[in-house]
Every structure is written in C-alpha cells, then in structure tokens.
Structure 1
Amino acid sequence: MYRKEEQPLPPPEKFELPFEGKLSPNNRWVIMAELIPWDDFEEEYAKLFSAEKGAPAKLFRMALGTLIIKEKLGTSDRETIEQIRENPYLEYFIGLNCYQQEPPLESSMLVHFRKRIDGELINKINKKIVKREIDKSDKEVKKKDCLQ
C-alpha cells in the first residue's frame, strides 16, 4: 500500500548528509587515492607542457584521477565530468580541496589527458604502487617477526 510521506522534502541546500560534511576514510575512492603516488609523477607530467604556450596545465592528479574515474565507471567523457561534479568523493580523488558545485574541468580535457598519459606512464605508476605495497608488507612481516 502507498504511504504518503509525513513531512515534505526539504530544499536541496537543507538536505542532511549522512557523513556530516566529512569523507569516510573507508570509501573506495579515498582508499584508492592513498594508494596512488600522485606527487611522484607530477614533475614528469609537467615536463610535457610549455611554460610559454597555452593555458596552465591541470595537475597530474586531476588528469590521471579523471581518467581512472572514467574507466572505473565506464562512462563517457561528459558523464564522467557530471559524476565528478555530483560526488564529493570523486572531487577528493582528483585532488580538489573542497566540494564545488561547478564542474572542475571541461569534458574536452579528457582528450588531452589521454594523449599525455600513455601506457608507459601507467605501467610506471602501477609498478611503483606494487613496489610500495610489497615494501610495506615486508616491513610488517619483519616487525611481526621481531615481536615474536
């Protein structure tokens, strides 16, 4: 049986969020953001740009993060930007400091990101992530052995 809501819905700006304005450290995007060595590749990415030509480049985290979101969600370039605009976890993942309602970039930027971030760079990033996780695991095993 259909039951009418007891209270009318609030306007969007009064809608209460369950995470009280804080992102959960257990969210998949927060966890993945911690795994990726963004800063280790910023300089390499920056070398692809000319200081004299064009608008300032987007940061590496925004470029790679946006491409990861697109691939993980299986969305078009435009839909990827909409997803980012609507989701504070995705905005955090691409390196924004706070939630913003306006899109952080145009969907046409993804074409440029794909040209600059090639398979070779992705492989370097993956190797660095794996090496760091292996090193971390080795340290935990050694620490555990010392405690026994």
Structure 2
Amino acid sequence: MLPIAEYLELPTSNFRRLRIGSNKIGPDGAMFLLRGIAIGKRLELLDISYNSIGTHGGEWVAMYLSSCLKLKHLHLKYNDIQPEAINHILLTLKKCCWLERLELCGNHFDSRSAGILRRLQDAQVLLHQEVDISYTYDESLQDYRVVPWR
C-alpha cells in the first residue's frame, strides 16, 4: 500500500477512483491510503471493501476522513470493523459530510451506532440514499438497531 499511498500524495497524481477491494489490506494499509488521500486531496472514490482493516483500520479511517476533502464515495463493506470504530466514522461525518455514498454493510454495529445514524439522518446530514445501512426500532430490544438498506 505504501507505493500507492505515496503516489496519492503527489500533486501530479491522476488517480480519481481507486478500487482495491478483496486484497487482504490490513489496518496499516488503510492508514497509509487514507493519509495519502488526505495529503493529496484528489481521490474521489475509495473502495476497500472485503478486506481486513478491522477496528484499528476503522479508527484510521475516522481520523483521516475529515481531511479527505474531495472524497465522495467510500466503500468499507465487510471489513470486520467493530462498533466503536464505526461510531467514530459516523461521528466524523457530522463534522464534514461531503460524501455522496458511504457503504458500511457487513461490519459490526450496536445500539449507539443506530442512534448516531438516526440523528445524522434526522438532521439530514446523511441522507438515506447516501448510506447502505439504516436503523429500525426493535421491540424485543427496546432500542434501535442497524439494518441493511438496499
């Protein structure tokens, strides 16, 4: 990931879309990529779905996301990201929501994730059509939970 990330940092980089799903990218790879995107500020689409960035990688995404000014599409499906990192990513969106599409399905969520998502959507910071998950009230849990949105 380091050579790709270094290229993304260059002001002459021509990458606008980077689809590298299903490539066994780990947390460090996610950190290098997001840091490169934050420095270069040119990438519009990043698809790192079906990798293994995990919770630590999700934290890196949350940390650098607010600096990725031109990023419009972020695909993080099926990366085994735990709720605490998902919550940080969602909370980052309330500060800077210029994403047109966010895909998080296949990761782990808790009731706090559903609450954050509900508040973002109710405030129209994040619209239903911009994210591939939604929330619903679960009578058996007496709380909100995240469900796939198709």
Bigger fraction of residues in strand: 2
TM-score normalised by structure 1 residue count: 0.24
Bigger fraction of residues in helix: 1
Structure with larger Rg = 1
